[in-house]
Amino acid sequence: MVKKVNIGVIGIQGAVSEHITSMKKALKEENIDGNVISVKTKNQLKDIQGLIIPGGESTTISKLIYKLGLYQEIINRAKNNDLALMGTCAGCVILADETIDDKKDIKLLKLMNISVHRNYFGSQKQSFEKEIKINGFDKAYNAVFIRAPVIEKVWGNCKILSKMNEKIIMARQEKTLALSFHPELADDLRIHKYFLDMIEF
């Protein structure tokens, strides 16, 4: 039976088109009937089952999510277990319950039991790729890190999925997934397919 699903990517700033392209490819390879759209309004959230918060500038994205009226709607739907979420790089920060730096300029969604250190891996010039092990994946994944954060700790029902040099770089809490890196910049679609498996449709 062919399934149908609607996926949104917050379309304010960052790696939006790359996520849309990767998710469309993942849907096709998994033989799932679905749509992938750029989300900029509260109304667009109504008909989607999965939402990606992309990499970019975490302060800018978080403030615009709030300004555009998306903030509370995302929280409400996530807490009702009605929306799967994936946050990559800046999106990982925005999903967090707290950041460990002193800056208070981010409007965190506080949907995951994680504490995040922003820009842990330094500037854009210090971007790199690294093969990592992910729980449940049968072979290594080549991850792309750009001004990447790390997850300093998790608690409660949040589970660690991957570490690099003893630092947490991927975690899941029920239907919410946070990654330090950029899966949309890799040719490997396994993370987008993993996210599809988290969505009820």
CA distance 38 to 170: 24
Total residue length of the chain: 201
Return the active site residues: 89, 182, 184
CA distance 111 to 173: 9
The residues, any chain, with a CB within 8 Å of residue 188's CB and separated by 6 or more, are 141, 142
What is the sign, positive or negative, of the torsion defined by CA atoms of 196, 161, 148, 157?
positive
> Distances in Å between the alpha carbon of 77 and those of 39, 74, 83, 125, 195?
15, 5, 6, 37, 17
| Location of structure tokens 């509260």 | 42
